[in-house]
Amino acid sequence: MPDDENDALLARLQRLSQPLPGVETGTSYGTPALKVAGKLFLRIKGAETLVLMAPLDEKERLIEMAPDIYYETDHYRGWPALLIRAAAVDDAELRHRITEAWRYKAPAKLRKTFG
């Protein structure tokens, strides 16, 4: 993915995660990522694909509910990581998913500060 596309997608993710306390921008597997307390909760995988951390039951429910947005490959089967087609998800839904992934990975003390 060209850097300008990565930059635009990262800017979108940073904007949508802005209200969440303790969010850090870093990298994971060489691509831009969002972390909380050093723990990955979202990363750009490549060409319009995001990897979002999610409990397995939630992951399965989302894939079943909206397979045009959420999916998995064999590599992610059995892992609490959900693939998202970034171009197919609107900001409201993505903001909600980012918040849920943040809650999944954030320490309890930090979650309490967010409500």
Over residues 71-112, the pLDDT tens digits come to 999 999 999 999 999 999 999 999 999 999 999 999 999 999
Confidence band, pLDDT 50/70/90 cuts, at residue 4: confident
- CA dist 90 and 28 (Å) reads 24
Predicted local confidence at residue 2, as pLDDT: 53
The encoded tokens of residue 31 equal 């691509």
Per-residue pLDDT reduced to its tens digit, 14-61: 999 999 999 999 999 999 999 999 999 999 998 789 999 999 999 999
Q: Which residues pair with 35 in a beta bridge?
A: 24, 40
Of 48, 50, 63, nearest to 5 by C-alpha is 48
**Is the predicted pLDDT of residue 1 greater than 50, yes or no?**
no
Note if the pTM is more than 0.85.
yes
